[in-house]
Chain A
Amino acid sequence: MARALINVPAKAKRGEIIEIKTLIQHEMETGYRVGTNGNMIPRDIITDFVCKYNGEEIFRADLFPAIAANPFFTFYTVATESGAISFEWSGDNGFTAAETATITVE
């Protein structure tokens, strides 16, 4: 599976707004580059990113070729309860990746 780097605080206070950072290894081939053989290199990008907090979707992104290689996102959510924050990426050529982080909310 593609390497991902997730940053979620391990602990938070109930109601606190927490920052989440995600970084995933992916070339994000745009489909607009010409290869050494003179042909266009076909598009191969991540197209969807979803973050869920205990199963409920809290952030979703539709990615286009204009997103830089090794897609990086910073976003926020309210720490409501302890549990699992899950991350799912999917894209061209059946690409999928998933990561989970646990958070303790007091």
Chain B
Amino acid sequence: MRRALLAAAWLAIAAPATTTEIPIAERKSGYDLMGPDTRAMQDDDTANPGMLWVLDGEALWNRKSGTAEKSCADCHGDAGTSMKGVAARYPAFDAARGRPFDLEQRINICRADRQKATPLPFESKELLALAAFIGRQSRGMPIEVAQDDRTKPFIEAGREMFEQRQGQLNLSCAQCHDDNWGQKLAGAPVPQGHATGYPLYRLEWQTLGSLQRRLRNCISGMRAEPYAFGAPEYVDLELFLMWRARGMKVETPAVRP
């Protein structure tokens, strides 16, 4: 009996650091962990601060830009039709460039290639507004990033980053968001970390922000050095997070504490 217990203890320590993944049926959006007032803020389009950026995005969608003097609408027409479901499958694989890109990067690729315009800086008001406007067109739709031979290596790279301990605190994303979700950290409940509503209005930021901004917050929180905005490591992680949230509904623009 004692030997069996010892063996079990040894196994527990020696087992690889794969933490317990959340079963599909038990996945919860951060929305479910919020109080009723914050949920009401998200649900009401006339009161959701993120909608201010969505409206800005709509204006930008129709504005001619770059030396090609083209607007998004010139190629894509009415976003309500053409962009429906798009955000739900991002990050998406770019065949020409051989790797996935997230929505903000895709917008800048379009600007450079089609509009002959300068890229919008990461986390700029304009880029967030366009991403929020496009994201809004997928609201309520299930997240569905491609999982095929092309994307699998990047999803795996993202998973590795999610499970890897980092920083001075030597924590992995999985340890909080897979193993300890629902428990409190400095008085706030730890969410499962599904990126269902980005870009979102974070009360802490008092503004709209991207998933990469949030990832950088977490990474600095672990006292690790964050990568620069747009780093491929983030896109891999974003892709993994969206794969992890597959089937969950897009909430953009969400509101979170």
What is A's interface to B at a CB cutoff of 8 Å?
3-5, 7, 21, 23-25, 27-28, 68-70, 72, 74
A70 touches B47 (CB 8 A): no
A23 touches B207 (CB 8 A): no
Residues of A within 8 A of B47 (CB): 21, 23, 72, 74
- A-B pairs with beta carbons under 8 Å apart, 11 shown: A3-B56, A4-B52, A5-B51, A21-B47, A23-B47, A23-B51, A25-B49, A25-B52, A27-B206, A69-B206, A72-B47
B46 touches A5 (CB 8 A): yes
Interface assignment of B55: CB less than 8 Å from any CB of chain A: yes
A-B contact count (CB 8 A): 36
Residues of A within 8 A of B55 (CB): 3, 5
Q: Output the least CB separation between B230 and chain A (Å).
A: 22
B46 touches A70 (CB 8 A): no
Whose C-beta in chain B lies nearest to the C-beta of A3?
Answer: B52
**Do A5 and B207 contact each other (CB < 8 Å), given the known contacts A21-B46, A21-B47?**
no
Roughly how many angstroms separate A58 CA and B200 CA in the complex, as a whole number? 34
What is the interface residue range for chain B against chain A? Answer: 10 to 19
A5 touches B206 (CB 8 A): no
Residues of A within 8 A of B56 (CB): 3, 25
B residues 195-212 near A (Cβ < 8 Å) are: 206-207
Q: Output the least CB separation between A49 and chain B (Å).
A: 16
Whose C-beta in chain B lies nearest to the C-beta of A6?
Answer: B46
Whose C-beta in chain A lies nearest to the C-beta of B125?
Answer: A25
Q: Output the least CB separation between A10 and chain B (Å).
A: 13
Q: Output the least CB separation between B52 and chain A (Å).
A: 4
Taking A3-B55, A70-B52 as given, write out 12 further A-B residue pairs in contact, using a Cβ cutoff of 8 Å, ordered by the A residue number.
Answer: A3-B52, A3-B53, A3-B56, A5-B55, A7-B46, A21-B46, A23-B46, A23-B52, A25-B49, A25-B53, A70-B207, A74-B47
Contact of A27 (CB < 8 Å), options: B51, B53, B207: B207
